[in-house]
Amino acid sequence: MPPLSQRCCQSASVRENGGVDRTNAGAEAGTGRTGLTGAAGVNLPVLRSHNTALVLDLLRTAGAEGISRLELAERTGLTPQAVSKITARLRDEGLATEAGRRASTGGKPPTVLRLVPEAGHAVGLHLDRDELRAVMVDLTGTVVGERRTSLDLGAGAEAVVDAVAEEAGALMVGASGAGSVLGVGIALPGPLDHNRGVLHRVTGFPEWDGFPLRDALARRLGGPVVVDKDTNAAALGLAVSGESGSFAYLHLATGLGAGLVIGGAVHRGARTGAGEFGHQVVQLDGPPCGCGGRGCVEALCLAAVAHGALDEAAHVLGTAAGNLVALLDIDLVLLGGRTITAAPDTFLRGVRTVLTERAERLGEDPVPVRLASGGVAEGAAQLVLARLFSPSRA
């Protein structure tokens, strides 16, 4: 196989680290060779017009009850004729179907339409530094298949690409006949470039720098792949599932990061560099951090967790959350990640205490803090579905 496009100027130092081989990681070898559409029936075009996405999004949020064409026209601002044209096409494609009739308010009772959840699926994978969780969701985001396995993110590209292909392939085979797989979303620790799907110096695993993960996996899986930071994927998943306004998702597990949703859309910054929340320096002479800096909030938080001092970790997290609230004036802070879900009350209390003290000093209402309802893998699947339903949000 020819190597994929790469930042070859960095190959030497990476090879010296004994790390990642930046070729296509044995793209044709091994297991998981399932083409994305090979496991299923119809091949649905993922990219659609803005108007079609608006209609699809309303069909999705209407649920099983459905929504009439007239309501679709009112909510989208489109003409009834335009809505009829779009819904006819969606019905032809099997994405929408009739869901009965509404009670009449005079005249002919209107037909309501609903989304067909099983008409398409997306696979979402969360690559953490030590484990991989994969889910398959239907068009409503409901999880219909799930796998979990251990993973060493430092094992090199070939091993990691193999593991991802195997898990994604196993889920897709399981969904055979259930509907089309639209693509695979991959969420992992940053930093990385979401637009190009290229990894940067992943904290703790700098040998990934420059690896074109999206293209390597797209070639291996035979279909569309989207790559994003774990925190951005989770934040998108939360926005899709109903968290509105501007909020921060704070993720504490093997690292600490934030996903930001500003005005309903994921905020990644110009280079996917936004949300590097864990590497804000809160102690100038503090302990060294995996990023190369000192005194980062991630280093302090992980050290406290390692010593079993969860109250202290929660206080550190709350302090950093306070900085973020002051910087962005957000409506809500959501907490997630396995360290937090293992002791949710401790972290909720700790973060709330700091944010409440801050609000009292300012004479304001404290920003609410809650546990996040979704996982990173579910959010990764939404990276794919967002292209169908809500391109402006993602």
Residue 190 sits at φ, ψ, to 5 deg, of: -90, -170
For Zn ion, the closer CB: 126 or 279: 279
Which listed range, 75-83, 282-290, 327-335, 372-380, lies at the site for Zn ion (CB under 5 A)?
282-290
Please pick, from the candidates 94, 156, 293, 391, the single residue that binds Zn ion as defined by CB under 5 A. 293
- In one-letter notation, the amino acid at residue 198 is V
Least distance between Zn ion and beta carbon 343 (Å):
23
Residues in 177-236 that interact with Zn ion by CB under 5 A: none
Query: Is 22 a residue that touches Zn ion (CB under 5 A)?
Result: no
Please pick, from the candidates 175, 296, 301, 305, the single residue that binds Zn ion as defined by CB under 5 A. 296
Query: Is 391 a residue that touches Zn ion (CB under 5 A)?
Result: no
Which listed range, 33-41, 44-52, 161-169, 284-292, lies at the site for Zn ion (CB under 5 A)?
284-292
Query: Is 291 a residue that touches Zn ion (CB under 5 A)?
Result: yes
Query: Is 279 a residue that touches Zn ion (CB under 5 A)?
Result: yes
Least distance between Zn ion and beta carbon 327 (Å):
18
Query: Is 289 a residue that touches Zn ion (CB under 5 A)?
Result: yes
Count CB-CB contacts under 10 A for residue 292: 11
Which listed range, 167-175, 239-247, 291-299, 330-338, lies at the site for Zn ion (CB under 5 A)?
291-299
Binding mask 128-157 for Zn ion (x = CB under 5 A): ------------------------------
Binding mask 323-362 for Zn ion (x = CB under 5 A): ----------------------------------------
Which listed range, 87-95, 121-129, 293-301, 348-356, lies at the site for Zn ion (CB under 5 A)?
293-301
Applying CB under 5 A, the residues found at the interface with Zn ion are: 279, 289, 291, 293, 296
